[in-house]
Amino acid sequence: MCCIFSVLVFLGPRAGILIWWLINPVLWQATFSSFIWPFLGFIFLPWTTLMYVLVAPRGSGIVGFDWIWLGLAVLADISMYAGGGYGNRDKVPGYSS
């Protein structure tokens, strides 16, 4: 798990998904029934995908405090997109800050 956290810090969530999938593909197959959901998560919601793989395969599904973790991951994805837009607002022609 230390390798996953180091990858997340230095390379971001998409690299973390790729490394974790290469290290433990059985966990990903147990979590998702098809390839489309992790692929879409990789593209659009990488933090939420990582958190879902972390909390979902415990056997009982997503219950209780797991929803809080997923909500925080969704907020991380939203803030990642919003921060990128806010940080590049001066580069868009015709957009006044």
Question: How confident is the model at residue 2, as a pLDDT?
Answer: 67
Contacts of 52 (CB under 8 A, 6+ apart): 31, 41, 62, 70, 73
pLDDT category at 96 given cuts 50, 70, 90 is low
% of residues, the chain, pLDDT over 90: 46
Are 48 and 80 contacting, i.e. CB atoms less than 8 angstroms apart? no
The residue ranking higher by pLDDT, 78 or 88, is 78
CB distance 60 to 78 below 8 Å: no
Q: What average pLDDT score do residues 51-64 get? A: 84
pLDDT at 97: 58
pLDDT at 83 over 90: no
